[in-house]
Structure 1
Amino acid sequence: MKKYLVQFKPFLIFIGTFFAAYILFTLVYKYYLDSFGSDGIDGITVVVGSNVNWLMSIFNYDVLVQKSLWGSYLEVWYNNVNVVRIVEGCNAVSVMILFVSFVLAFSGKLKTTLLFILSGILFIYILNVVRIATLTILMFRFPEKEHLLHGVLFPLIIYGLVFILWVIWVNKFSKYAK
């Protein structure tokens, strides 16, 4: 048994670190969300909505992002049509938690790890704001393609790019990079 523990030690450390970080960050985030109650919108989602509004306004799109009167989500109005909702799950925090947990599990030098995590979180955040803005325009023009756009294409893009970040991290910066 000891032979197998020694043989699989790097894998076990990776799995243990990944799940410990993932569970810890998820619990902290859940505690943060619980502080807003059932009818409130969390601050991160509000900032994401504000940035979507700002980004679309820069390009002179007729957009309005506002809190819904009917639930705890933001409504994105484009050309006076309520096109999409921004709910808590749209703020990409769960993707960021997954990203950070993986990077920590394959950690490298402290400074490099922290810089990569911060850069990655910023990249994911910006990508997510662009995703919501683009999805708003496409959903307005092609409402019949909702499943393809929201359920397939955009998750594929965001998770695909996070996967590429992981590959870069493991091959260039982690302690396992050669």
Structure 2
Amino acid sequence: MLKDFKPVLGILLRFIIIYVVLLFAYQFYLNSFKAQGLDPFSRVIADHVMFIQNKLNYATLLYDDVANEQVYFYVKKEYVTRMVEGCNAISIMILFLSFVFAFFKGTKTFVFATAGLLALYIMNVLRIAGLNIVTRDYPQYSKGAHDYLFPAVIYGSVVILWLIWIKFFALKNENS
């Protein structure tokens, strides 16, 4: 009977191992920047959000709070939100990569993972910019947007990418 579950158990074991290794690597990365404020990857995201908002005529400035490891977004001279490490979507990207590599299919796994990470990065930058604009112009919707709408956007993107991976790549018959 266990023989019937061997492929599923193999996928599950690969997922868990990849997830734990990536999680520890990420924690090591974060610990190495503890005294410098917001980690460099999160800061790059904040810079890209500022760039997008400025292009959309939402004049944005960033203020570093090194002691508290965060960056404040000032949009049109008004404080709207702050970015902390959890906003960078790395934990979501780790989850995405773990799932994709659990169904490893050679070179196309690396290509899809790279494209998926790029898509998630762009979606996350747009998500944060959207949240800043909602918070600036429609503060009454800020909590709902932060707690429900924008998390649904980023997690929904992951689920869509997973479905694409499974349907068109991972479970596709190699002979057809």
1:177 to 163, 172, 175: 172
Whichever residue aligns with residue 129 of structure 2, its letter is A
Q: Distance in 1 between matches of 2:160 and 2:94?
A: 16
In the alignment, is the contact (CA less than 8 A) between 1:92 and 1:128 conserved in 2? Answer: yes
| Match in the other structure for 1:97 | 94
Q: 2-side partners of 1:70 and 1:24: how far apart? A: 29
What is the alpha-carbon distance in structure 2 between the residues aligned to residue 150 and residue 17 of structure 1? 33
Q: Within 5 A, what are the aligned runs for 1:1-150? A: 3-4=1-2, 6-38=3-35, 40-68=37-65, 71-108=68-105, 110-150=106-146
Please provide the CA RMSD for this pair. 1.3
Offset of residue 75 of structure 1: 0.5
Percent of aligned pairs sharing the same letter: 37
Does 2:150 match 1:162? no
Give TM-score scaled by structure 1 length: 0.92
CA–CA distance in 2 between the matches of 1:177 and 1:51? 36
1:142: how far off? 2.0
Q: For 2:153 and 2:125, locate their aligned partners in 1 and report how far apart those are by CA, in whole Å.
A: 13
Q: Structure 2: which amino acid aligns with 1:64?
A: L
TM-score (norm 2): 0.93
Unaligned runs of 5+ residues in structure 1 are: none
- Residue 151 of structure 1 is matched in structure 2 by 147
How much does 1:130 deviate? 0.6
How far does residue 68 in structure 1 lie from its aligned partner after superposition?
A: 2.2
**Cα deviations by residue, 1:59-97 (Å, 9 ceiling, x for unpaired):** 222111221266210100001111011100101111100
Question: 1:8 aligns to what SS in structure 2?
Answer: helix
For residue 107 of structure 1, give the secondary structure of its aligned residue in structure 2: coil
